[in-house]
Structure 1
């Protein structure tokens, strides 16, 4: 089996577009397409369904992906075994427009010589991300395992940074003119957050948020992606959503959406970093030090019960 074809499949699965996979691999989109087509012929299975926005995994593709990652990891380890220190630091984020990716980009801009590979594992259960760290598929993952006992002895979790929430609304919403909002002012308003997956850390976060402040968080309906959500907000007089202050969202100028900070208390989504206890990648230490340098949130802050201490991150040799 051609490992470069398997690698092309994995990157396309993680990024959702053949063009992006080609850019990261340093080859043409046609080359990636041919590699994947050859792999599909060899497996006698269709791995991707083509869509207007890119590619999506078929059921066979979903079944093959974890094994494909293992093949790529094994090949990388074989290379690393004879060229120590040559492998890029591989860190998992929830999405390339997420707060984690924004913070990592800021880190990389301050150290452009860093060989950094930012990936999205596309797993919703953070325990699966912990397993990927344990198996060496990634060097670290920005996920929070809300039950520390599920981490095991070979993976540890440290506080990375807090992401304060903002209310995102369209111009017709009754709260659209507010410059700041308290959690109490959100009561009674429909906060639509599609795609809250069972067992995910964000499902537990929203459960605790609703209980603490009596909010109406609605996860009903399928998640058709951010573009559809933004279109709905632009035309709605009663639907809002919550976003992280560092999360990147792009919308047409005509949407006139507003991001409104929430204060007294600030609602903080705590972001953690999963990393191996033994033999971490040497590039992790400066990343952890960068996270430790981020300014803490001012004022009163609400966090869920499982949030780790937002104090200084460790910079001991074990990182």
Structure 2
């Protein structure tokens, strides 16, 4: 019996994301294709690897036993491919999540600059960025930078993304074209995806503290589909970046916030010893399109102000 690497890779993705739909987004294939690969793998092995339920896919005992070896197989395969790519490999960019505004920044670069191959990577943002850059696992990371960096890592501010309000159609804000930030004082925003210790969780904590908004991070977090469905079915509100690709729901509206506009700061991180020929091209492309902070009309945490108010960085 020979294992198909694509099926093993799909197994690892589902095991880590718990949802076939999430795994499909990570792999860049359809959910049906993921299901077929898992079914074939289970058939080849003669084992059941997952228990399926409305709450996602959980590993069986056999699945947990196989996961360690599956990750090793995928890792060895990726290393072999990387060695063959040699010096002309694609530019590896960590975008945090393929449904966020960061993916549009990289897509714009790929469309504007001919002859540059790009590999998209997702991880834990700032928490994993420094180590990944130092090891050369990625060439660039797009994330918010909440704290100090190593001397060998450059931080280039590239994008300020307006934050929007999410509300169900029955909510008092639902019929509004925009909502002023002051009107949210005393409200509770439900943000179950705000992982403890993450830079985005800190951003929304600071936003809440600045304007008297309670941020409820209670979970569990079952993914974007569940998040939007829950907002639409109850009286809760939430936040999302303007560029976030949320699943459409008939009972959820997305409303711009003004006076001031909260903006989420995206920066490009790169290691100074990284000599990838496309890295400077990416940096110049993003910097050239960056809009400056407007302190009179936009809100940004104090810790992020310095990077976005100084002169445009040079690669």
- Aligned pair in 2 of structure 1 residues 4, 135: CA closer, same or farther (>3 Å)? farther
Q: C-alpha separation between the residues in 1 aligned to 2:271 and 2:25?
A: 32
Aligned pairs, number: 299
State which of 27, 32, 37 in structure 2 corresponds to 1:21.
27
Normalising by structure 1, we get a TM-score of: 0.76
Q: C-alpha separation between the residues in 2 aligned to 1:114 and 1:184?
A: 45
1:243 and 2:240 are equivalent in the alignment: yes
The residue that corresponds to 1:314 in the other structure is: 313
CA contact (8 A) 1:16 1:56 kept: no
Q: CA RMSD in A?
A: 3.8
Normalising by structure 2, we get a TM-score of: 0.77
- Aligned pair in 2 of structure 1 residues 63, 155: CA closer, same or farther (>3 Å)? farther
The residue that corresponds to 2:261 in the other structure is: 266
The residue that corresponds to 2:127 in the other structure is: 127
CA contact (8 A) 1:161 1:271 kept: yes
The residue that corresponds to 2:117 in the other structure is: 115
Offset at 1:223?
A: 0.8
Offset at 1:154?
A: 3.1
The residue that corresponds to 2:228 in the other structure is: 230
The residue that corresponds to 2:292 in the other structure is: 296
The residue that corresponds to 1:159 in the other structure is: 157
Which structure 1 residue ranges, 5 or more long, are not aligned? none
The residue that corresponds to 1:192 in the other structure is: 190
Offset at 1:172?
A: 0.8
Q: C-alpha separation between the residues in 2 aligned to 1:19 and 1:145?
A: 25
- Aligned pair in 2 of structure 1 residues 66, 289: CA closer, same or farther (>3 Å)? farther
Offset at 1:193?
A: 0.7
Q: C-alpha separation between the residues in 2 aligned to 1:164 and 1:73?
A: 37
Which structure 2 residue ranges, 5 or more long, are not aligned? none
CA contact (8 A) 1:3 1:75 kept: no
Range with bigger deviation, 304-313 or 66-75: 66-75
Q: C-alpha separation between the residues in 2 aligned to 1:305 and 1:154?
A: 24
Where 2:93 maps in the other structure, the secondary structure is strand
